[in-house]
Amino acid sequence: MATATARADADPAVQALRRFRQIFATVRTHFRQVEQITGTGAAQLRALSLLREQPGLRISALAQAMDIHQSTASNLVKTLVERKLVIGARNGSDARVLHLNLLPAGEKVLQRLQGHYIGVLPQALQTLPPAVLRRLNTDLDLLLDAMQADDTAARSPLASL
């Protein structure tokens, strides 16, 4: 007679749940480590990294590059400006447009990471072949439907969830 543990080990739903636990734990551990090293959260680091790569970005372009809502990007930028890691400058013919640039203190934060910051999960996803990503997206859509998940969190930084 099979034990309860053996039955659970053989249950595909339990196996999938364990994999999600591993993913969540890995992401959470990564966020903690990065914040300990830099003193800055993952979403803010991603914004700083993008501004180093593309000085003068507008908030709307930053939001698009991070795949987050513009209001979320505005809140991130507000914090970065308050911490004196980023400066916003209005130039050109439209005074409403704010161009964002990294300040030396922001560069110092990024130097603690020694390279480009994207995050452990997005980086891992980028290594997967397109066919695998398509299959994963199809399967995740089925799971989201089964959960009756609200799609409002789809464009929120992982660190804020």
Q: Which residue would you say has higher pLDDT here, 148 or 2? A: 148
Name the pTM for this structure.
0.78
From CA 151, how far away is CA 141, in angstroms rounded? 11
6 band by pLDDT with thresholds 50, 70 and 90? confident
Q: How far is CA 67 from the centre of its chain?
A: 9
Q: Check if the beta carbon of residue 55 is closer than 8 Å to that of residue 101.
A: yes
The pLDDT of residue 83: 96
Q: Give all domains of the chain, ordered by start, each with its CATH number.
A: 8-160 (1.10.10.10)
- Helix (H) or strand (E) holding 57, with range, is strand 57-58
In sequence order, what are the beta bridge partners of 87? Answer: 101
Lowest mean pLDDT among 52-56, 89-93, 99-103, 125-129: 89-93
From CA 132, how far away is CA 155, in angstroms rounded? 22
- The answer on pLDDT for 93 being more than 60 is yes
CA dihedral in degrees (145, 147, 151, 152; nearest 10)?
A: 170
- The answer on pLDDT for 76 being more than 90 is yes
Q: Check if the beta carbon of residue 31 is closer than 8 Å to that of residue 42.
A: yes
pLDDT in tens, 7-54: 767 899 999 999 999 999 999 999 899 899 888 998 999 999 999 999
From CA 146, how far away is CA 161, in angstroms rounded? 20
